[in-house]
Amino acid sequence: EMKRSVVGKLCIGASASVPAAESLRLGENKSQKSEKFRVGVLGASGYTGSEIIRLLVHHPNYQITLMTADRKAGQSIASVFPHLVNQELPNMIAVKDADFSAVDAVFCCLPHGTTQEIIKALPRNIKIVDLSADFRLKDVDEYEEWYGQPHKAQELQKEAVYGLTEIHRVEIKSARLVANPGCYPTSVQLPLIPLIKENLIRVNDIIIDSKSGVSGAGRGAKEANLYTEVAEGIHSYGISRHRHVPEIEQALSEIAKSKVIISFTPHLMPMSRGMQSTIYVEMAPGATAEDLHRHLTNFYENEEFVVLLNGSEVPQTRHVRGSNYCLMNVFPDRIRGRAIIISVIDNLVKGASGQALQNMNLMMGVEETAGLLSVSLFP
CA distance 337 to 354: 36
Residue 183 among the catalytic residues: yes
CA distance 376 to 361: 21
CA distance 280 to 330: 10
- Residue (of 308, 309, 320) closest to 190 by Cα position: 308
Measure the N-to-C terminal CA separation of the chain; round to a whole number of Å: 34
Are 345 and 187 spatial neighbours (Cβ–Cβ below 8 Å)?
Answer: yes
CA distance 68 to 82: 17
Q: Residue 249: helix, strand or coil by DSSP?
A: helix
Residues whose CB falls within 8 Å of the CB of residue 146, separated by 6 or more in sequence, listed in order: 137, 243, 245, 246
B/e letters for 150-185, b = 16+ CB within 10 Å, e = fewer, are ebbbeebbeebbbbbbbbbeeebeebebbbbbbbbb
CA distance 248 to 21: 47
Q: Which long-range contacts (CB under 8 A, 24 or more apart) does 115-124 make?
A: 115/42, 116/151, 116/152, 116/153, 116/156, 117/152, 117/153, 118/42, 119/153, 119/156, 119/177, 120/152, 120/153, 120/156, 124/176
Neighbours of 282 (CB within 10 A): 18
The single residue of 11, 108, 109, 183 carrying the catalytic annotation is: 183
Catalytic residues: 183
